[in-house]
């Protein structure tokens, strides 16, 4: 499976450029789409799942042009949108059955087996007869992922999947996705939560203001932030100065004041200790410095 | 390609979702409950539901679905717009949209889902109806009916409303707005557009005649299919448009334009069907008008008389082939070089010979023009042989009906039934003379000669060959001459014959050498079980009923047989302009709509239960046979012998519809007059009811104008001659069943003419004269000249001059009544009750009043609705033009009420009522029990009185009228109604409207203006010209009308606020209900010097309405 995005642009009728000249290659495995709110992630996703037309550019899925072969490409898709609610009158299993039917599973016996299997997988088997609209937030997300995956799609698009989930649910969710990513499928995970990506994605793209800032593996992104992440123990007055000058990643109260972690191209503080960056540090560094440099 | 798997998946889950919605569940629950109650009511005779609901297999599926359709047409809007609304709101739909399916699969799946939900509801309702019909004893059970009514009623309506809802929702993108727009549309289509434009806008199919007969099937299935097809295809087109317009990217580029092609295709199919539908309907009208024009252009040709007509008819499939031999003679005084014969345009002539030779002929629709080799001399005979075959075009039947008011269907309760006039089906044939199935000399109805209908009394001979399993029925001696072959030979010359062929079974009985038969389509003999016990006494009973009827009308039955023949319920019961009764009445036979559904008293089970209850109440014990006798008597008298004024359960028909009377006179002899052809109907109308005394004295408080009053209003403005040309143009509001037609006017006016003659020449003498006239001209026609010369010989005066006035002038008698006195007198030591009054007719036409008096008779039994109301005392008083009478009656019991019916006259209402409180005063006077001449008077106003009535010029009112633009638009072509209407006590009008009531003041027209009470926003003003300055007593005329509604408190009775103008300004005068009496009420005495003065009445009142009647100024000495 390979998705090739070429010179993709999306301009809304109000003139807003949601996507500008995006070029991306996505291959099997989990692909993270990272960026702040409004960066164009959802626009890209909606174009990918054929809900929206791009203004220009092309998306090829293997050899198929997305704009000409929606029918074939839709057969490959599994999609979980950000704000996922239900037809209020359907039961949990019915909703899954509905999705399974639409994904083309015609044999009733096989379909019901799959429904049960997926209910088990996402831990909703006991709630199979509950009205889908009465499930908790986490359960709904799980049902959402189940409906997206039940037809064994080759391209799975998941938009902000962990928003509103408690940590336990989040871990469970990541595990499900990790499991799928072992198969011959592309999973595109759009998020603004770096943690969702760090543990699972082999590749990622960073979107900012509709443009592609970075495309590569997480270690490559982390490498960019090397020598640019610092920790400083500081007191009250200095903290205010630092805050104004550098993007702060975390602030932990200590005996003398605060233990502050920040990113900076260069730092003129003697107390600053260089830290080994992680993906979150790299993301902040990228957004605060590299992205702005690119823009300028 | 469309994936059915996807479509059904969408449909299945849409259906599941809708089935769980409370909105639908509540609707379904209420539908089942409501229709359950309806079905119980329809199936149990005790509920009073007409027989039609039970005895025809199509009734229940038809009515159930019709009721349901109204509800589902509204609920479907909500359900259809709901999914698009949800789709917009929820991201959930994106999960579905991202699936591989076409937009068509998605939208069609959704539509199919909604349809499926209603399919199950329809199914439930039909099962419910079937269940009840199987529980009920006399219900008809049908299965196929349950298949096609859902397809004809529900499917097109639902597809259309779904399509329309989708379309508007996609366009307006707002469910609430869509809902409001569609509800408005539904309201307009139901309340305003339903019957307009051939009920084309009736998408709910409420007005589409879809009732199916067990004999003849649908009245016109083609029209029904086209009408329903219109909505189906337009709906489908709008659904496809939604597929095109939906906010989801199509599967591929190819799919973008495909739905729009389907939209165009479906809408084009819908438009094509609209066009076809209008073409058919307009085509029917224009074709009928064309036939009428042809009749008009050939009506003036001198015609031969048909002396005999021999017909040999072969019925095969849906056609007939006939060999006709007509023996004609020239009874005119001129030579005839062109012979005009009428024959149905659907019948093609294959051979024609005249006097044994092939002769030239021309065909123009129904007109057959034969050019004889040599002219036909007066008194010469002429023989025509024609061979023709084909089908019947029913347009020829009612050329006398105005196309403006013509309706090709009729209603009975909820049933809409297509009118049919003739049938040639494989297993059923029904042909009357109107079908022109046999050649008739001359033309039929021609509007240039209104009411000219001159059938020849002809000796017919008919041979019929049909399918061996079918029975043919016609007039005369019947011989079966082989399987499916019959020969008919009427003993006497008849003005018309008819032919019915069907799978009949026959029950016959002979009484006094007359054979009475009933021919019923096999399987429809539901009545047999109800009359098993009295077969032995039936001949006696028939004799008794017959003798009673004949004593009443004064004629004897002239034929050897009389049959009741079952025909499909669509058979039209319209009346011709020249007929007393409908075309269902044929010589020697009467057609009855299948299973007697539009007859009175055919619900024998219900009647039996009622009789049994009554017997129980009266502690009466009678045998089963006697009970059946009673039921039979009611049936026979109610349908075939009733007085035309009696109340009838079917609004559209009157009691003459199936009257036996034409068999006694119309089919025996007819008066011919080219100048006044309606005289024949006039005479027959008189003969039919000449001995009937019953006149309904009841007038419901809210009742609109009576037919008699409408006739008076028509005749006030136009003469009979003018009306015959223009027709009844007023208030042709098809929603109103109580309209009169020209036939009603002719009958009333004709009856009145002969009633006046009777009053002038003496009842017995005049009736004897007419009986002799009929007797001397049996089986032939006679001319007006003959009638007039015989009349002149007998009574010494010709009446042609009088008839000319009666026909062409619109002057009527007008009656004034004064000095009404009621008092007691002592005669031979017994108290007598005297009524005395003077009545004048100052107008130039003679008139007649019928005075009925009800006495306070303790033995009076309670009157029942529908029964004859025979007053205790009735007297007809003839009052010549410019004359007056003093009338006195003396009674042994105290009179409680007197009605003076003024018949055809200037008087409105035409029933003046006097309710007598009590006869307090005792006078020592001789009784005055006579009618004597009195000097004529032309007013009832005393000297020094000036009265301004609401009918006078000095009366006016102020009001602001508001009518919505839409209503004005829709009503643009609506014909104006009558000036007067009934009092709408539940919802008085917001403007002044005129109403008639005996208690109001008026010279001839006793009327008042009334309006809803308010805050002085409407006023009535009486302006008078006073001859002298001086002191005047001012009076108002009031008829106290207070509705006795239980919760109306005393304080809500109407009070009146008058403003009297006088020398020193104005006085506001308030009169509470308790201050007022019926009649003149004193308001005060005022000095008035100005020559014009006025009194005003405000609509401010504590009551619900106020009446403005008359004001009187009386000059003081």
Interface of A with B (CB under 8 A): 46, 49-53, 68-75, 77, 79-87, 89-90, 94, 98-99, 101-104, 106, 144, 147-148
B114 chain-A contacts, CB cut-off 8 A:
none
Greater pLDDT, B117 or A273: B117
B91/A81 Cβ within 8 A: yes
Percent of chain B with pLDDT over 70: 92
- Cα dist from B254 to B218, B257, B258, B559, whole Å: 44, 6, 7, 78
Question: Which residue among A51, A82, A94 sits closest to B97, beta carbon to beta carbon?
Answer: A51
Q: What span, in angstroms and rounded, lies between the C-alpha atoms of B816 and B837?
A: 10
A87/B9 Cβ within 8 A: no
**A90 and A22 belong to one structural domain:** yes
Give the pLDDT band of residue B298 (cuts 50, 70, 90): very high
Q: What is the pLDDT of residue B869?
A: 59
Return the residue in A45, A48, A98 with the most chain B beta carbons within 10 A, the one to mutate for interface testing: A98
Q: Cα torsion for B30, B36, B37, B39, to the nearest 10°?
A: 140
Q: What span, in angstroms and rounded, lies between the C-alpha atoms of B446 and B292?
A: 6
CATH code assigned to B945-1115: 2.60.120.260
B720 CB-contact burial (10 Å; exposed 0-12 / middle 13-18 / buried 19+): buried
**A190 and A280 belong to one structural domain:** no
Query: Mean pLDDT across the stretch B640-667?
Result: 79
Q: What span, in angstroms and rounded, lies between the C-alpha atoms of A45 and A62?
A: 17
B98/A74 Cβ within 8 A: yes
Question: Which residue among B21, B91, B101 sits closest to A102, beta carbon to beta carbon?
Answer: B101
Range from B474-488, B745-759, B773-787 carrying the lowest mean pLDDT: B745-759
**A251 and A202 belong to one structural domain:** no
- B 236-275 residues with CB below 8 A of A? 248-253
Give the pLDDT band of residue B733 (cuts 50, 70, 90): very low
**A198 and A243 belong to one structural domain:** no
DSSP letters along B865-912, please? TTS----SEEEEEEE-TTEEEEEEEEESS-EEEEEEE--SBS-BSSEE
Greater pLDDT, B1 or B796: B796
Q: Count the Cβ atoms, other than its own, within 10 Å of residue B301.
A: 15
Size of interface A-B (CB pairs under 8 A): 88
Last residue of a domain, one of A191, A215, A239: A215
pTM of the model: 0.84
Cβ of B6 under 8 Å from any chain A Cβ?
A: yes
A106/B5 Cβ within 8 A: yes
Rg (CA), chain B: 34
DSSP A287: I
Q: In this model, does residue B451 exceed pLDDT 80?
A: no
Give the pLDDT band of residue B652 (cuts 50, 70, 90): low
Last residue of a domain, one of A215, A242, A259: A215
Query: Mean pLDDT across the stretch A53-57?
Result: 93
Range from A263-272, B214-223, B297-306 carrying the lowest mean pLDDT: A263-272
Give the pLDDT band of residue B965 (cuts 50, 70, 90): low
Q: What span, in angstroms and rounded, lies between the C-alpha atoms of B233 and B662?
A: 49
Query: Mean pLDDT across the stretch B564-570?
Result: 95
Q: What is the pLDDT of residue B86?
A: 64
**A72 and A39 belong to one structural domain:** yes
Domain B816-934 fold? Immunoglobulin-like (2.60.40)
B249/A98 Cβ within 8 A: no
Question: Which residue among B9, B17, B94 sits closest to A102, beta carbon to beta carbon?
Answer: B9
Alpha carbons within 13 A on the beta-carbon side of B644: 27
Greater pLDDT, A50 or B453: A50
The rounded mean pLDDT for chain B is 87
B385 CB-contact burial (10 Å; exposed 0-12 / middle 13-18 / buried 19+): middle
Range from A12-16, B874-878, B967-971 carrying the lowest mean pLDDT: B967-971
- In chain A, which residue's Cα lies nearest the Cα of B83? A87
B253/A71 Cβ within 8 A: no
DSSP letters along B9-20, please? HHHHHHHHHHHT
**A100 and A232 belong to one structural domain:** no
Q: What span, in angstroms and rounded, lies between the C-alpha atoms of B720 and B718?
A: 7
Question: Which residue among A53, A69, A87 sits closest to B92, beta carbon to beta carbon?
Answer: A87
**What is the residue range of A242's domain?**
223-295
Nearest to B67 by CA among B16, B115, B30, B96: B30
Give the pLDDT band of residue B493 (cuts 50, 70, 90): very high
B6 chain-A contacts, CB cut-off 8 A:
102
Q: What span, in angstroms and rounded, lies between the C-alpha atoms of B212 and B416?
A: 10
**A202 and A256 belong to one structural domain:** no
In terms of average pLDDT, the best of A8-17, A133-142, B251-260, B307-316 is B307-316
- β-bridge pairing B816-827 and B780-783: unpaired
Largest CA distance in chain B: 111
User: pLDDT by residue (tens digit) across B54-102?
Assistant: 888 888 889 999 999 989 988 888 888 776 666 655 556 788 888 889 9
Q: What span, in angstroms and rounded, lies between the C-alpha atoms of B100 and A50?
A: 10
Question: Which residue among B17, B96, B252 sits closest to A102, beta carbon to beta carbon?
Answer: B96
The CATH number of whichever domain residue A87 belongs to comes to 3.40.50.300
Query: Mean pLDDT across the stretch B866-889?
Result: 83
How far, in whole angstroms, is CA B7 from its chain's centroid?
51
A131 chain-B contacts, CB cut-off 8 A:
none
- In chain B, which residue's Cα lies nearest the Cα of A101? B9
- Cα dist from B1061 to B676, B954, B1022, whole Å: 55, 15, 10
**A119 and A79 belong to one structural domain:** yes
The CA distance from B250 to the nearest CA of chain A, in Å, is 8
Give the total number of structural domains in chain A.
2
Q: What span, in angstroms and rounded, lies between the C-alpha atoms of B1116 and B458?
A: 76
- Cα dist from B494 to B459, B587, B786, B1047, whole Å: 6, 8, 21, 63
Q: What span, in angstroms and rounded, lies between the C-alpha atoms of B906 and B844?
A: 11
Query: Mean pLDDT across the stretch B412-418?
Result: 89
User: pLDDT by residue (tens digit) across B808-855?
Assistant: 988 889 999 999 989 999 887 888 899 999 999 999 988 989 898 888
In terms of average pLDDT, the best of A122-136, A176-190, B420-434, B677-691 is B420-434
B935 CB-contact burial (10 Å; exposed 0-12 / middle 13-18 / buried 19+): exposed
Measured in residues, chain B has a length of 1117
Q: In this model, does residue B336 exceed pLDDT 90?
A: yes
Q: In this model, does residue B734 exceed pLDDT 50?
A: no
Query: Do the Cβ atoms of A144 and A80 come closer than 8 Å?
Result: yes
- In chain B, which residue's Cα lies nearest the Cα of A73? B100
B21 chain-A contacts, CB cut-off 8 A:
89
User: pLDDT by residue (tens digit) across B136-172?
Assistant: 665 566 677 778 899 999 999 999 999 999 999 888 8
**A77 and A32 belong to one structural domain:** yes
Cβ of B102 under 8 Å from any chain A Cβ?
A: yes
Question: Which residue among A46, A83, A102 sits closest to B99, beta carbon to beta carbon?
Answer: A102
B96 chain-A contacts, CB cut-off 8 A:
102
- β-bridge pairing A56-61 and B485-489: unpaired
- Cα dist from B485 to A36, B314, B347, B518, B524, whole Å: 97, 9, 22, 20, 24
The CA distance from A18 to the nearest CA of chain B, in Å, is 19
Predicted complex ipTM: 0.90
Q: What span, in angstroms and rounded, lies between the C-alpha atoms of B370 and B355?
A: 12
In DSSP terms, A230 is beta-bridged to A262, A274
**A43 and A96 belong to one structural domain:** yes
Q: What span, in angstroms and rounded, lies between the C-alpha atoms of B636 and B617?
A: 25
Q: In this model, does residue B730 exceed pLDDT 70?
A: no
Nearest to B386 by CA among B361, B417, B416, B364: B361
B814 φ/ψ angles, rounded to the nearest 5 degrees: -140, 135
Question: Which residue among A74, A83, A90 sits closest to B13, beta carbon to beta carbon?
Answer: A90
- For A225-262, b/e burial (b = at least 16 CB within 10 A) is beebbbbbbbeeebbeebeeebebbebeeeeebbebbb
Query: Mean pLDDT across the stretch B6-18?
Result: 92
- For B202-214, b/e burial (b = at least 16 CB within 10 A) is bbbbbbbbbbbbb
- The residue extents of the domains of chain B are 4-279, 503-667, 675-805, 816-934, 945-1115
- Long-range CB pairs of B252-259 (<8 Å, 24+ gap) are B252/A68, B252/A69, B252/A70, B252/A71, B253/A68, B255/B102, B255/B103, B255/B104, B258/B104, B259/B103, B259/B104
- In chain A, which residue's Cα lies nearest the Cα of B1? A71
Query: Do the Cβ atoms of B306 and B458 come closer than 8 Å?
Result: yes
Give the pLDDT band of residue A87 (cuts 50, 70, 90): low
**A153 and A281 belong to one structural domain:** no
Nearest to B516 by CA among B547, B476, B561, B556: B561
Cβ of B92 under 8 Å from any chain A Cβ?
A: yes
CATH code assigned to B675-805: 1.10.390
Question: Which residue among A53, A82, A144 sits closest to B249, beta carbon to beta carbon?
Answer: A53
Q: Which residues contact B867 (CB under 8 A, 6 or more apart)?
A: none
The CA distance from B257 to the nearest CA of chain A, in Å, is 14
Nearest to B77 by CA among B176, B155, B9, B202: B176
In DSSP terms, B520 is beta-bridged to B505
Return the residue in B8, B100, B249 with the most chain A beta carbons within 10 A, the one to mutate for interface testing: B100
B101 chain-A contacts, CB cut-off 8 A:
74, 102
Nearest to B888 by CA among B897, B877, B901: B877
Range from A163-177, B671-685, B807-821, B1055-1069 carrying the lowest mean pLDDT: A163-177
Q: Which residues contact A56 (CB under 8 A, 6 or more apart)?
A: A7, A8, A9
- Of chain B, the end-to-end C-alpha distance in Å amounts to 103
**A211 and A151 belong to one structural domain:** yes
Q: Is A94 helix (H, G, I), strand (E, B) or coil?
A: helix
Range from A70-74, A226-230, B1004-1008 carrying the lowest mean pLDDT: A226-230
Last residue of a domain, one of A149, A182, A215: A215
A53/B16 Cβ within 8 A: no
- β-bridge pairing B1030-1038 and B1110-1115: antiparallel
B1015 CB-contact burial (10 Å; exposed 0-12 / middle 13-18 / buried 19+): exposed
Q: What is the pLDDT of residue B862?
A: 45
Query: Mean pLDDT across the stretch A49-72?
Result: 91
Cβ of B97 under 8 Å from any chain A Cβ?
A: yes
Q: What is the pLDDT of residue B791?
A: 93
A84/B253 Cβ within 8 A: no
Q: What is the pLDDT of residue B196?
A: 79
Q: What span, in angstroms and rounded, lies between the C-alpha atoms of B230 and B164?
A: 13
Greater pLDDT, B316 or A228: B316
């Amino acid at each position: 499976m390979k998705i090739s995005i070429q010179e993709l642009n999306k301009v809304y009728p109000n003139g807003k450029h949601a996507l500008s000249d995006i070029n991306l290659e996505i291959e099997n495995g989990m692909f993270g789409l990272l960026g702040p709110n409004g960066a164009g992630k959802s626009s890209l996703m909606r174009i990918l799942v054929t809900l929206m037309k791009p203004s220009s550019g092309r998306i090829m899925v293997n050899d198929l042009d997305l704009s000409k072969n929606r029918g074939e490409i839709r057969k490959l898709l599994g999609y979980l949108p950000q704000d996922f609610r239900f037809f209020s009158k359907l039961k949990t299993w019915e909703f899954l059955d509905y999705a399974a039917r639409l994904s083309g599973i015609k044999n009733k016996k096989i379909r019901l087996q799959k429904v049960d299997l997926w209910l088990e997988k996402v831990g909703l088997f006991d709630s199979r007869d509950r009205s889908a609209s009465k499930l908790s937030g986490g359960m709904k997300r799980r049902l959402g992922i189940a409906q997206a995956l039940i037809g064994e799609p080759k391209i799975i698009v998941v938009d902000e999947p962990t928003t509103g989930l408690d940590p336990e649910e989040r871990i469970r969710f990541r595990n499900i996705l990790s499991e799928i990513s072992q198969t011959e499928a592309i999973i595109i995970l759009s998020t603004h939560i770096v943690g969702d990506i760090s543990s699972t994605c082999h590749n990622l793209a960073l979107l900012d203001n509709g443009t592609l800032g970075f495309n590569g593996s997480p270690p490559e992104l982390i490498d960019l932030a090397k020598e640019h992440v610092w920790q400083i123990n500081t007191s009250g007055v200095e903290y205010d100065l630092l805050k104004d000058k550098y993007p702060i990643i975390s602030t932990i109260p200590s005996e003398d004041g605060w233990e502050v972690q920040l990113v900076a191209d260069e730092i003129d503080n003697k107390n600053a200790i260089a830290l080994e960056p992680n993906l979150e540090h790299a993301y902040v560094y990228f957004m605060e410095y590299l992205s702005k440099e690119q823009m300028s | 390609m469309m994936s059915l798997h996807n479509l059904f998946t969408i449909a299945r889950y849409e259906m599941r979702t809708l089935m769980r919605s409370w909105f639908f569940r509540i609707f379904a629950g209420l539908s089942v409950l409501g229709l359950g109650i309806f079905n119980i009511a329809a199936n149990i005779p005790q509920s009073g539901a007409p027989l039609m609901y039970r005895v025809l297999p199509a009734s229940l599926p038809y009515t159930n679905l019709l009721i349901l359709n109204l509800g589902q047409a509204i609920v479907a809007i909500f359900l259809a717009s709901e999914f698009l609304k949800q789709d917009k709101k929820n991201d959930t739909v994106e999960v579905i949209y991202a699936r591989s399916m076409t937009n068509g699969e998605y939208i069609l799946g959704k539509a199919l889902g909604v349809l499926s939900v209603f399919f199950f509801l329809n199914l439930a309702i039909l099962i419910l109806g079937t269940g009840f019909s199987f529980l009920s004893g006399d219900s008809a059970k049908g299965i196929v009916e349950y298949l096609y009514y859902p397809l004809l009623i529900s499917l097109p309506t639902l597809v259309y409303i779904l399509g329309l809802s989708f379309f508007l929702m996609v366009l307006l993108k707002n469910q609430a707005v869509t809902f409001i727009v569609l509800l408005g549309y539904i309201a307009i289509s139901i309340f305003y557009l339903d019957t307009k434009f051939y009920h084309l806008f009736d998408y709910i199919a409420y007005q589409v005649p879809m009732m199916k007969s067990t004999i003849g099937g649908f009245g016109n299935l083609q029209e029904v299919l086209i009408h329903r097809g219109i909505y189906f295809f337009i709906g489908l087109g709008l659904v496809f448009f939604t597929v095109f317009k939906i906010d989801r990217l199509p599967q591929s580029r190819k799919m973008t334009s495909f739905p729009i092609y389907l939209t165009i295709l479906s809408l084009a199919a819908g438009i094509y069907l609209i066009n076809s539908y209008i073409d058919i309907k307009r085509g029917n009208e224009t074709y009928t008008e064309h036939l009428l024009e042809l009749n008009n252009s050939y009506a003036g040709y001198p015609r031969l008389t048909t002396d005999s007509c021999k017909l040999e008819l072969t019925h095969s499939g849906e056609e007939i082939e006939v060999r006709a031999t007509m023996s004609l003679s020239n009874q005119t005084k001129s030579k005839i070089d062109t012979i005009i014969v009428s024959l149905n345009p659907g019948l093609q002539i294959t051979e024609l010979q005249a006097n044994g030779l092939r002769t030239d002929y021309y065909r123009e629709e129904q007109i057959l023009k034969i050019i004889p080799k040599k002219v036909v001399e007066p008194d010469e005979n002429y023989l025509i042989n024609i061979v023709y075959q084909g089908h019947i075009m029913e347009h020829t039947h009612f050329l006398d009906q105005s196309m403006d008011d013509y309706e090709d269907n009729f209603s009975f309760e909820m049933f809409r039934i297509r009118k049919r006039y003739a049938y040639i089906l494989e297993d059923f044939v029904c042909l009357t003379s109107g079908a022109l199935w046999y050649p008739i000399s001359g033309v039929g109805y021609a509007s240039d000669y209104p009411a000219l209908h001159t059938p020849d009394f002809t000796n017919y001979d008919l041979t019929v060959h049909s399918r061996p399993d079918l029975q043919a029925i016609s007039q005369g001696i019947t011989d079966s001459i082989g399987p499916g072959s019959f020969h008919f030979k009427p003993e006497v010359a008849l003005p018309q014959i008819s032919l019915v062929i069907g799978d009949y079974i026959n029950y016959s009985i002979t009484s006094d050498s007359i054979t009475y038969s009933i021919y019923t389509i096999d399987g429809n003999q539901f009545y047999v079980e109800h009359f098993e016990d009295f077969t032995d006494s039936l001949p006696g009973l028939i004799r008794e009923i017959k003798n009673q009827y004949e004593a009443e009308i004064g004629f004897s039955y002239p034929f050897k047989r009389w049959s009741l023949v079952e025909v499909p319920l669509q058979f039209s019961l319209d009346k011709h302009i020249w007929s007393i009764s409908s075309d269902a009445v044929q010589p020697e036979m009467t057609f009855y709509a299948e299973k007697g559904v539009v007859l009175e008293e055919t619900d024998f089970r219900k009647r039996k239960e009622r009789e049994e209850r009554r017997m129980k109440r009266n502690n009466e014990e009678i045998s089963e046979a006697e009970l059946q006798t009673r039921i039979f008597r009611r049936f026979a008298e109610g349908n075939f012998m009733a007085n035309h004024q009696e109340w009838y359960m079917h609004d559209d028909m009157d009691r003459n519809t199936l009257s036996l009377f034409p068999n006694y006179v119309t089919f025996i002899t007819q008066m011919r007059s080219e100048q006044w052809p309606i005289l024949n109907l006039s005479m027959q109308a008189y003969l039919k009811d000449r001995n009937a005394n019953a006149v309904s004295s009841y007038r419901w408080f809210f009742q609109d104008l009576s037919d008699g009053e409408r006739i008076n209003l028509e005749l006030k403005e136009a003469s009979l001659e003018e009306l015959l040309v223009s027709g009844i143009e007023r208030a042709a509001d098809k929603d109103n069943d109580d309209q009169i037609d020209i036939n009603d006017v002719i009958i009333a006016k004709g009856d009145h003419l002969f009633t006046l003659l009777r009053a002038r020449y003496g009842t017995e003498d005049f009736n004897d004269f007419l009986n002799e006239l009929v007797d001397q001209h049996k089986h032939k026609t006679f001319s007006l000249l003959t009638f007039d010369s015989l009349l002149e010989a007998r009574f010494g005066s010709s009446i042609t001059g009088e008839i000319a006035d009666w026909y062409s002038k619109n002057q009527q008698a007008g009656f004034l009544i004064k000095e009404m006195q009621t008092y007691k007198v002592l005669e031979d030591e017994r108290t007598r009750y005297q009524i005395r009054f003077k009545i004048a007719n100052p107008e130039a036409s003679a008139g007649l009043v019928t005075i009925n008096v009800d006495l306070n008779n303790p033995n009076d039994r309670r009157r029942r609705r529908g029964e004859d109301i025979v007053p205790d005392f009735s007297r007809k008083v003839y009052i010549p033009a410019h004359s007056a009478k003093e009338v006195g009656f003396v009674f042994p019991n105290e009179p409680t009420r007197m009605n003076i019916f003024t018949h055809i006259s200037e008087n409105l209402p035409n029933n003046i009522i006097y309710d007598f409180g009590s006869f307090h005063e005792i006078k020592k006077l001789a009784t005055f029990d006579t009618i004597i001449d009195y000097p004529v008077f032309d007013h009832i106003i005393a000297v020094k009185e000036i009265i301004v009535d609401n009918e006078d010029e000095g009366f006016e009112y102020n009001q602001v009228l508001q009518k919505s633009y839409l209503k004005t638009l829709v009503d643009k072509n609506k014909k104006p109604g009558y000036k007067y209407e009934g009092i709408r006590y539940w919802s008085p009008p917001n403007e002044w409207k005129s109403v008639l009531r005996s208690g109001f003041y008026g010279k001839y027209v006793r009327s008042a203006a009334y309006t809803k009470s308010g805050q002085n926003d409407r006023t009535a003003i009486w302006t008078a010209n006073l001859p002298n300055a001086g002191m005047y007593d001012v009076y108002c005329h009031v008829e106290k009308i207070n509705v006795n509604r239980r919760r109306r408190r005393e304080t809500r009775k109407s009070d009146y606020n008058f403003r009297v103008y006088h020398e020193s300004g104005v006085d506001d005068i308030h009169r509470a209900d308790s201050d007022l009496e019926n009649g003149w009420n004193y308001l005060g005495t005022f000095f008035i010097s100005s020559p014009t003065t006025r009194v005003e009445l405000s609509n401010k009142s504590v009551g619900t309405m106020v009446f403005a009647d008359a004001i009187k100024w009386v000059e003081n000495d």
